[in-house]
Amino acid sequence: MNNITLTIDGVKVSVPAGTTVLEAAKGAGIRIPTMCYIKDLNEIGACRLCVVDTGARALQAACVLPAAEGMNVKTNTPAVRDARKMNLELLLSNHDKKCLSCVRSTNCELQSLCREYGVDDENRYAGSMTETHIDDLSPSIVRNNAKCILCRRCTAVCQKVQNVGVIGPVKRGFHTQISCAWGDPLSDTACINCGQCIAVCPTGALTEKDDTDKVFAALADPKKHVVVQPAPAVRAALGEEFGIPMGTSVTGKMATALRRLGFDKVYDTNFAADLTILEEANELVDRVKSGGVLPMITSCSPGWIKFCEHAYPEFLPNLSSCKSPHEMEGAVIKSYYAEKYGIDPKDIVVVSVMPCTAKKFEADRPELGHNGLADVDIVITTRELARMIKLAGIDFANLPEGDFDDMLGESTGAAVIFGVSGGVMEAALRTAYEVITGKKLEKLDFLDVRGMKGVKEATYDLDGLELKVAVASSTGAASKLLDAVKSGEKSYTFIEVMGCPGGCINGGGQPLVSPTEREKNNPLVLRAKAIYDEDAAKPVRKSHESLAVQKLYDEYFEKPNSHKAHEILHTHYTARPKYK
């Protein structure tokens, strides 16, 4: 491709033809502010914060302006600064400016730019505001259009990445809003609760439903026995909320913080991830040997499960019947643990700390309970846990290293990699190989299923048995994969689907990272490294070698996929309307 040369703020820049002025400026180390822009996903020039002067009659949006040979671009003239400030004032004129009580305060892209350009909440464009309401009927996501700036980043990720498309712009002009069809609440749509819309929202227009008050109330109730369990991906990201560098695993500090918050037991969802592998790998082996429904598809991601129920109900028989790890752990806590310690399950409150907003919806499913009790009572996100720690006055960054409680706190390296795309597949393969072949697996790293590609494929020879596997990262990628299976173009034995791009490390409840920062420090790569480093450091890296899980089978479940295991650890799912 031919290069062109242009000048940006007096700097000669050479870029390939077709490059936008915004990207050309980035390459030259020149920052142009953006709000609606997400590289390769939402390049629409909607917010007009990236306007520049090219000598044309009007200022132009750099994110959609192709660089041209000999172009002379100025990004910091008085006219450019005034235009950007005016655009920010216009956004604020139709914005709920309750910043002190907003969960995004100090981590809001609009707030940061207003501070940078000297914009206050009393501006020359104050006047009428679009009539809005708060949609808080979803168990996972709260939408407040009074804080929406119509950047359309949420609609882009919902449609183009997740292939869900339940939100979009409606009405025109001043009355334009982001809404669901017919003004329905998210809870009445095919929303999968993944929270990827929250992850890209620059303001507080989209947030998770906050359940921290429920947790504090349970902790303060002397009649309740409150047990907490954090997911694998939480430890790879929680530190970011306290200024610890991205990609640092904070497992020990997290365990200490949870104990200081007052939980009666601090367990680890990783224990149940190992348990899930024992159930899932043996289920796969049984299906392969007995001619069961194939490909078997993982069932750990609640966003993916709801997507399957709405969009691909014909694949419901392919889903593993295993509950997700935190639901399994909740079920074990309210059965085995309750019996062992003589506690009435009705008095136990199980709190899951998850990287995922869809887990809030999952915990409410009637299919996920036993003897009239939900397996998990409350789900909070990584961000919510961080808020609880801060509110409790805990100096997280300087906490000593702690550990989980015995029995349901032990885990293997195979469990921790559940937090990244390909991890469930790799963990299952480590066990399935030894179950099928009866031989010891020497090389534990299945590199073909690692990485951030939307779809990954591999074929493994298990002592003469050919195992074709695939991994889908995001429900949009899952759509492409399942369409290929439906058409007969592709054939697999085992498929892993994670609802969010990159897996749980990039869940909708993880610490928020702006698109600009993501281009410099990719949280998918850095958090994944923390996960794999923890796996590599574990003394035991195969789920079936977990002594704690072996003890659970010896004392309670007898063996994987036993009648009792199916009664407590397995479930089923039902088709839902395609658009509702």
Rounded distance, CA 101 to CA 562, Å?
51
CA 172 vs CA 130, 169, 178: distances in Å: 11, 9, 11
Which residues is 103 bridged to in the sheet?
A: none
CA distance 245 to 249: 9
Let me know how long the chain is: 580
Quote the CA–CA distance of 534 and 308 in Å, as a whole number: 31
Which tokens hold the place of 193? 């609760």
Question: What tokens appear for 113 in the block?
Answer: 């730019």
Start-to-end CA span in the chain (Å): 46
Q: How far is CA 389 from CA 52, 121, 217, 566, in A?
A: 43, 31, 15, 37
Catalytic residues: 280, 283, 300, 320, 359, 362, 367, 504
Alpha helices by DSSP H, 203-323: 212-220, 251-261, 269-290, 302-311
Element (H, E) at 435: helix 423-437
- What string of DSSP letters covers 131-187? ---EE--SSSEEEEGGG-----HHHHIIIIISS----EEES-GGG-EEE-GGG--GG
Lookup result for tokens 């000669």: 12
Q: What tokens does 494 get?
A: 């085992």
> What's at 191, amino acid-wise?
C
